[in-house]
């Protein structure tokens, strides 16, 4: 049985190095340096290799300690090491932070199956969910299933450049790993001034490294889960919390992930209402109605673990919704489309340099899913957004489209 003595340090890898990935590498690198008892200082950052100014991007990053292409002007900790080999970057890491465009996830996970530690833990910083006609999956689920590990999520009101400039904000980490093996010592709650050595053990993957006698096998050369301190809520907070980046850790992975996707639908409606000049009252009303449809969507389709307060009280919920409906590009383009009398796709073409608005595709996916369930009428704002995008409804009609039955109030509870 593992002892409660000194533990191996956790090794951290960032999978992805775009604007947000590089920002998270900065945050995490600062914390591995500040917590040497708990983490190896060096942070590996997998970089999709490309040529920049006639040089390899990884070499530029490692020379200049700056991602000159995706996060220019921000100095990265010198112990954040850019690595073009994903297999090499993840090797021996106990904590894998996924921060890359969602279309690359599945291919990348295939590459590292069997390479990662079997008891590694993941955090997905990828906003949104994978919606198919009649199936919805969180990206954390996709990663977890493909790699056979547990994966949580990080999301919040976090415009990457503002975080990189150390402008204060908050974020939410959702993390709810399976319970500790019942044969393990009773886990004591870690005290506020915990030392890593005193924290509870994570033995969930221990079986894979035991021999038939139940004792840890001596022939295994890979590390054992029991050699490490548990990766729990406290560990996650220490790894991500900075004076300028306040972290709250919750357990509702689905709520955090869904908020990040569904808010973009609401932002389109907020943009239209802004474009109509209806004022702050109306925009706040759209956000309120949208927030409740987000909650309802979560409860209907992820009911087991969803908590209303993830949406209404956390940074990943209400705060990210507020930010997205203030300065985000879904809101901005929708507003332009009303003011200029142009379609959303005309505005997308002009403003987004070939990219597409996430709110548009999410609205379509969510509507398709809702229709497959026959539940469009229970989500009148989401449905209205889809129909307006398709030209089947007018944005001026949003109030009527979302108006509830005249006498349906919480009076029904009385």
| Nearest-approach distance from CB 412 to a second copy, in angstroms | 7
18 annotated to bind ligand: yes
Question: Which residue, 53 or 413, has its beta carbon nearer to a second copy?
Answer: 413
Among 179, 187, 181, 217, residue whose Cα is nearest residue 4: 187
CA 403 to chain centre: 32
The annotation status of 350 as a binding-site residue, yes or no, is no
- Which of 263, 342, 390, 394 is labelled catalytic? 263
Q: CB 157 → a second copy: shortest distance, Å?
A: 4
263 tagged catalytic: yes
User: Is 369 assigned a ligand-binding role in the annotation?
Assistant: no
Residue closer to a second copy (CB basis): 33 or 292: 292
Q: How many CB atoms lie within 10 A of CB 373?
A: 11
Q: Which is nearer to a second copy, 4 or 285 (CB)?
A: 285
Minimum Å gap between C-beta 381 and a second copy is 12
Q: Rounded to an integer, what is the distance from CA 90 to the centroid of its chain?
A: 19
Cβ distance to a second copy smaller for residue 130 or 202? 202
Q: What would the two tokens of residue 169 be? A: 């904000």
64 marked as binding residue: no
Taking CA atoms, 259 is separated from 23, 85, 334, 373, 411, in Å, by: 21, 32, 19, 20, 28
Largest CA distance in the chain: 74
Considering the complex, what minimum distance in angstroms separates the CB of residue 112 from a second copy? 28
Buried b (16+ CB within 10 A) or exposed e, 262-272: bbbbbbbbbbb
Q: Enumerate the H helices of 222-357 as residue ranges.
A: 233-240, 253-275, 279-301, 308-313, 320-327, 329-339, 344-351
Which residues are CB-neighbours of 370 under 8 A, at least 6 positions away? 376, 378, 379, 382, 383
Which residues form the interface with a second copy (CB under 8 A)?
156-159, 162-163, 167-170, 176, 189-190, 192, 194, 232-234, 237-238, 241, 243-244, 246-251, 278-285, 287-289, 291-292, 308-309, 312-315, 318-320, 322-323, 326-327, 398-400, 403-414
Q: Is 356 annotated as a binding residue?
A: yes
User: Residue 330 annotated as binding?
Assistant: yes
16 is known to lie in a ligand binding site: yes
Q: Whose CA is closest to 335, among 293, 386, 283, 284?
A: 283
- Of the pair 304, 414, the CB lying nearest a second copy is at 414
Helix (H) or strand (E) holding 23: helix 19-34
Strand partners, 56: 51
CA dist., res. 266 & res. 366, Å (int): 12
CB of 231 to a second copy, least distance (A): 12
Give the annotated binding-site residues for substrate. 127, 329-330
Give the annotated binding-site residues. 16-21, 104, 127, 160, 329-330, 356, 358
Give the annotated binding-site residues for NAD(+). 16-21, 104, 160, 329, 356, 358
Residues assigned a catalytic role: 263
């Amino acid at each position: 049985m593992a002892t409660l003595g000194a533990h191996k340090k956790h090794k951290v890898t960032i999978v992805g190095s775009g604007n947000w990935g590089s920002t998270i590498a900065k945050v995490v690198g600062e914390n591995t340096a500040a917590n040497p008892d708990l983490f190896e200082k060096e942070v590996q950052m997998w970089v999709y290799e490309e040529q920049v100014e006639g040089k390899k991007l990884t070499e530029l990053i490692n020379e200049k300690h700056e991602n000159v292409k995706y996060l220019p002007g921000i100095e990265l900790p010198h112990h954040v090491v850019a690595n073009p080999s994903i297999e090499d970057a993840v090797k021996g890491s106990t904590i894998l932070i996924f921060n890359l465009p969602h279309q690359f996830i599945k291919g990348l996970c295939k590459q590292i199956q069997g390479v990662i530690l079997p008891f590694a833990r993941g955090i997905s910083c990828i906003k949104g969910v994978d919606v198919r006609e009649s199936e919805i999956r969180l990206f954390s689920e996709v990663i977890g299933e493909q790699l056979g590990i547990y994966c949580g999520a990080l999301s919040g009101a976090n415009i990457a450049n503002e975080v990189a400039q150390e402008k204060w904000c908050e974020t939410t980490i959702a993390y709810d790993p399976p319970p500790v093996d019942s044969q393990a010592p009773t886990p004591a709650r870690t005290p506020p001034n915990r030392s890593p050595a005193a924290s509870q053990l994570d033995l969930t993957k221990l079986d894979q490294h035991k021999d038939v006698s139940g004792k840890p096998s001596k022939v295994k050369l890979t590390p054992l889960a029991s050699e490490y301190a548990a990766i729990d809520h406290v560990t996650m907070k220490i790894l991500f919390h900075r004076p300028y980046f306040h972290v709250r850790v919750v357990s509702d992975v689905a709520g955090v992930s869904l908020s990040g996707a569904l808010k973009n639908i609401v932002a389109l409606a907020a943009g239209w209402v802004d474009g109509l000049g209806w004022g702050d009252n109306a925009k706040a009303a759209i956000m309120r109605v949208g927030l409740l449809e987000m909650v309802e969507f979560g409860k209907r389709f992820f009911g087991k673990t969803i908590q209303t307060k993830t949406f209404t009280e956390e940074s990943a919920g209400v705060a990210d919704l507020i930010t997205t409906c203030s300065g985000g590009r879904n809101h901005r383009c929708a507003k332009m489309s009303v003011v200029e009398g142009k379609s959303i796709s005309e505005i997308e073409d002009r403003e987004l340099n070939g990219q597409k608005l996430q709110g548009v595709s999410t609205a379509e996916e969510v509507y398709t899913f809702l229709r497959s369930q026959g539940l469009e009428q229970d989500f009148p704002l989401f449905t209205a957004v889809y129909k307006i995008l398709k030209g089947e409804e007018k944005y001026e009609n949003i109030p009527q489209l979302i108006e509830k039955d005249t006498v349906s109030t919480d009076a029904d509870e009385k």
